[in-house]
Chain A
């Protein structure tokens, strides 16, 4: 599977460095290594969800209880979590670090991902969620640290879009 193990490891290490001890996730192809890393780490509580919106509740509870958390999900998982993000995390001013695989963007070969792909940024923008794109391995540690810092200073959700160039080691088309 051409999901980048190196990039997944960089992202995971950056999450740990930023203090994350609770990770909630729903599997998606680009996230398989990340989720396995969390599962294999005795210092991290991995919560495998049935639907992504649950993860907003888990992160809210973890935050109130003093634990830093991150959500790992596909852009369609973010779509499924929107009500919780607005009426939970935003309404109650809870920091929420969302790592979202940016499926359906340039280079996408799966036709079923393309409709969501054109919506992702617009929905994040419409919700006024500070968003950055993670594309370069060299930027991973710093970007995730800055995203967590902003989430905590603003007490708001923050999104990091995981780009295909980072996550997927494509054979030349």
Chain B
């Protein structure tokens, strides 16, 4: 499956959801489908997108939070999976695009290319709902189920090791960061505001 097709399949479904992506291809491809103020692209701090999503999910239990992660980033913060599982925010969906490659920095194979199983790792970390999907239709369905479930979910999406030609867009990191913060504030329940 092409990650771009997978993102296209869920793009409409991301309306009203706090979305945190990793750097590189995931960020550039999601932007190419149409940026929204509820999308935050963590362009560095590799590994921390899931931790950042956890922080949002815990601070805003009223809000659905989706993290669009990658195999290289997850492998860099495997301990973070155990933290996610420990607090298991029911409003958090953790998507991991697994292309078995550090695509954005030259395509070096990651350990998922030699057998590391991210769904299995997530389960063993204590995540109750984890699934691996290999085509766009299955991904769309798994994502829908994860959003509907009142439980922390991990969706590992096996994807081709292909990305866009470039990763820099005209949306500056700080513009994105403040816009996203304002969007989060605008959706805060009145009692919390």
A84 close to B55 (CB less than 8 A): no
Residue B55 contacts which of A48, A61, A87 (CB distance < 8 angstroms)?
A: A61
| Further contacts, 4 of them, CB under 8 A, given A53-B48, A61-B51, A92-B173 | A21-B59, A54-B80, A62-B55, A64-B184
Which residue in chain A gives the minimum CB-CB distance to B56?
Answer: A61
With A48-B83, A66-B184, A91-B173 known as contacts, the answer to whether A84 contacts B58 (CB < 8 A) is: no
Q: Which residues of B contact A (CB under 8 A)?
A: 18, 20, 40, 42-60, 63, 77, 79-80, 82-83, 86-87, 173-174, 177, 180-181, 184-185, 188, 192
Q: Which residues of A contact B181 (CB under 8 A)?
A: 63-64
How far, in whole Å, are A83 and B56 apart by their CA atoms in the complex? 20
A-B contact pairs, 29 of them (CB 8 A): A21-B59, A47-B54, A49-B79, A50-B80, A50-B82, A51-B79, A54-B48, A54-B83, A55-B51, A57-B51, A57-B54, A57-B80, A58-B51, A58-B54, A58-B55, A59-B55, A60-B45, A60-B48, A60-B55, A61-B52, A61-B55, A61-B57, A62-B56, A64-B52, A65-B63, A65-B184, A87-B44, A87-B45, A92-B177
Which residue in chain B gives the minimum CB-CB distance to A65?
Answer: B59
Q: Which residues of A contact B (CB under 8 A)?
A: 21-22, 45, 47-51, 53-67, 69, 83-84, 87-88, 91-94
How far, in whole Å, are A59 and B82 apart by their CA atoms in the complex? 17
Q: Which residues of B contact A22 (CB under 8 A)?
A: 55, 58-59
With A47-B83, A49-B83, A61-B51 known as contacts, the answer to whether A66 contacts B192 (CB < 8 A) is: yes
B174 close to A65 (CB less than 8 A): no
Q: Which residues of A contact B44 (CB under 8 A)?
A: 87-88, 91
How far, in whole Å, are A22 and B104 apart by their CA atoms in the complex? 33
Q: How far is the CB of B149 from chain A (nearest CB, A)?
A: 21
How far, in whole Å, are A83 and B73 apart by their CA atoms in the complex? 14
Residue A88 contacts which of B42, B82, B180 (CB distance < 8 angstroms)?
A: B42
Q: How far is the CB of A77 from chain B (nearest CB, A)?
A: 13
Q: Which residues of B contact A49 (CB under 8 A)?
A: 79, 83
B45 close to A62 (CB less than 8 A): no
B59 close to A62 (CB less than 8 A): yes
Which residue in chain B gives the minimum CB-CB distance to A57?
Answer: B51
**Listed residue (B56, B82, B185) with the most chain A CB atoms within 10 angstroms of its CB:** B56
A84 close to B48 (CB less than 8 A): yes
How far, in whole Å, are A88 and B48 apart by their CA atoms in the complex? 8
Q: Which residues of B contact A57 (CB under 8 A)?
A: 45, 48-52, 54-55, 80
Residue B56 contacts which of A53, A65, A84, A87 (CB distance < 8 angstroms)?
A: A65
Q: Which residues of A contact B50 (CB under 8 A)?
A: 57
With A83-B45, A91-B45 known as contacts, the answer to whether A45 contacts B174 (CB < 8 A) is: no
